[in-house]
């Protein structure tokens, strides 16, 4: 870790100055560290070559790996096992895959042992005055990293929560606007239907030629229903006849082609349909946001009665 960065992590403190007498220890430590780092890379490459069944290159890489580990052992004055270079040489020029795999396992164990030996040496004979300062700075760096990750995760979570709330609010605003548009269109349609009844002197059943234009449309999603759909055809026919009876311009009728969610409007002609309930009003409705006619999401407006004595 760069000394300038370490000093940044330790405000008010300075690392002990490097002394000339420490140079040999620093050089020895760095040399062993480099050898072990390179050995770890070569060990990974050896396993990859064995996996690829490349015995020739694996044999060559095993030799280089053994040289690095033996050099690290010499730098540490570590003599707890024999030479890996001799071990590799004993396998022959082109060892079998199994022999190389076994050698790789021994090299991996040697690498772990040498890394432990380096750690012990750094804590003992190779310990320098600046090591404690560096260790404390490294600990602070890890704490800062953990805190930074936690803060970033919290910020992301908070941002996502706020984004969800914003999207939900925008969706609610858009839905409310659509429902107002649908209600306004239905109120206008109710006025148009009543005008058709007054002007023609007929009930809406007689004007449209149907006692239930919406029948057959309940319980299914009407949003985006194609032009040939029965509900679309029934609504267009009823709208055309109401418009003719009311003397409405085509521009006004175009408003009633579909509701804000793309469903045809729904008309139920009730006035005068039943002798028991002759004054039950006609209704015009929108299937609402979910496009399903006949549920609580519908928007329904009654058409004022216009028959004799009503």
Residues 103 and 36 in one domain: yes
Give the per-residue pLDDT at 123.
87
- Residue by residue, DSSP assigns the chain as --HHHHHHHSTT--PPPP-GGGHHHHHHHHHHHHHHHHHHHHHHHHHHHHHTT-HHHHHHHHHHHHHHHHHHHHHTT--SS--HHHHHHTT-SS--HHHHHHHHHHHHHHHHHHHHHHHHHHHTTT--HHHHHHHHHHHHHHHHHHHHHHHHHHHHHHHHHHHHHHHHHHHHHHHHHHHHHHHHHHHHHHHHHHHHHHHHTS-HHHHHT-S-TTTT-TTSB-TT--TTSHHHHHHHHHHHHHHHHHT--HHHHGGGSS-TTSPPPEEE--TTT-SSSTTPPEEEEE-TTTTBTTSTT-EEEEEPP-STT-
Residues 204 and 265 in one domain: yes
Residues 188 and 123 in one domain: no
At residue 117, does pLDDT exceed 90?
Answer: yes
Give the per-residue pLDDT at 133.
67
In a domain, 150, yes or no: no
Question: Percent of the chain having pLDDT more than 90?
Answer: 73
Copy the structure tokens of residue 41.
Answer: 């890379």
3-state secondary structure 218-261: CCCECCCCCCCCHHHHHHHHHHHHHHHHHCCCHHHHHHHCCCCC
Q: Last residue of a domain, which of 112, 127, 142? A: 127
Report residue 180's pLDDT band, with 50, 70 and 90 as the boundaries. very high
In a domain, 169, yes or no: no
At residue 178, does pLDDT exceed 50?
Answer: yes
Q: Last residue of a domain, which of 64, 92, 127? A: 127
The total of structural domains in the chain comes to 2
Average pLDDT over residues 302-308: 80
Average pLDDT over residues 75-99: 92
Rg of the chain taking only CA atoms, in angstroms: 43
Q: Last residue of a domain, which of 127, 161, 192? A: 127
In a domain, 286, yes or no: yes
Average pLDDT over residues 275-301: 91
Q: Which domain holds residue 253?
A: 177-303
Report residue 272's pLDDT band, with 50, 70 and 90 as the boundaries. confident
Q: Which has more pLDDT, 122 or 276?
A: 122
Segment 1-29, tens digit of pLDDT? 455 555 555 565 666 666 777 789 889 98
At residue 308, does pLDDT exceed 60?
Answer: no
At residue 182, does pLDDT exceed 90?
Answer: yes
Average pLDDT over residues 23-50: 94
Residues 117 and 225 in one domain: no
Residues 20 and 109 in one domain: yes
In a domain, 160, yes or no: no
CATH number of the domain that residue 219 is part of: 3.30.700
In a domain, 3, yes or no: no
Give the per-residue pLDDT at 131.
66
Q: Which has more pLDDT, 22 or 189?
A: 189
Average pLDDT over residues 124-146: 78
Report residue 310's pLDDT band, with 50, 70 and 90 as the boundaries. very low
232 and 264 Cβ atoms separated by less than 8 Å: yes
In a domain, 299, yes or no: yes
The position carrying tokens 């040999």 is 24
Residues 230 and 121 in one domain: no
Give the per-residue pLDDT at 309.
44
Give the per-residue pLDDT at 139.
75
Residues 122 and 190 in one domain: no
Q: Measured between alpha carbons, how far is 66 from 259 in angstroms, rounded to an integer?
A: 79
In a domain, 148, yes or no: no
At residue 306, does pLDDT exceed 90?
Answer: no
Residues 106 and 39 in one domain: yes
Q: Which has more pLDDT, 136 or 120?
A: 120
Q: Which has more pLDDT, 275 or 211?
A: 211
Residues 113 and 207 in one domain: no
303 and 190 Cβ atoms separated by less than 8 Å: yes
Average pLDDT, the chain: 89
Residues 185 and 290 in one domain: yes
In a domain, 132, yes or no: no
């Amino acid at each position: 870790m760069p000394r300038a960065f370490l000093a940044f992590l330790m405000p008010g403190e300075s690392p002990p100055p490097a002394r000339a007498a420490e140079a040999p220890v620093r050089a020895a430590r760095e040399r062993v560290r480099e050898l072990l780092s390179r050995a770890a890379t070569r060990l990974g490459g050896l396993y990859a070559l064995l996996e690829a069944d490349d015995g020739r290159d694996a044999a060559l890489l095993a030799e280089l790996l053994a040289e690095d580990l033996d050099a690290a052992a010499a730098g540490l004055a570590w003599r707890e096992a024999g030479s890996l270079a001799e071990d590799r040489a004993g396998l022959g020029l082109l060892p079998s895959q199994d022999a190389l795999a076994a050698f790789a396992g021994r090299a991996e164990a040697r690498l772990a042992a040498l890394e432990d030996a380096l750690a012990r040496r750094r804590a003992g004979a190779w310990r320098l005055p600046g090591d404690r300062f560096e260790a404390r700075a490294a600990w602070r760096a890890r704490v800062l990293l953990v805190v930074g990750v936690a803060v970033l995760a919290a910020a992301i979570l908070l941002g996502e929560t706020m984004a969800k709330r914003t999207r939900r609010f925008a969706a609610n605003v858009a839905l409310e606007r659509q429902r107002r548009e649908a209600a306004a269109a239905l109120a206008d349609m109710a006025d148009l239907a009543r005008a058709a009844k007054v002007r023609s002197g007929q009930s809406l059943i007689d004007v449209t030629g149907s006692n239930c234009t919406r029948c057959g449309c309940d319980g299914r999603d009407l949003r985006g229903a194609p032009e040939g759909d029965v509900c679309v055809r029934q609504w267009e026919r009823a709208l055309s006849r109401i418009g003719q009876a009311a003397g409405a311009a085509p521009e006004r009728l175009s408003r009633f082609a579909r509701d804000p969610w793309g469903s045809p409007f729904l008309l139920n002609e009730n006035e005068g349909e039943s002798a028991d309930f002759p004054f039950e009003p006609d209704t015009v409705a929108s299937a609402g946001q979910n496009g399903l006619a006949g549920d609580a999401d519908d928007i329904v407006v009654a058409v004022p009665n216009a028959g004799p004595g009503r």
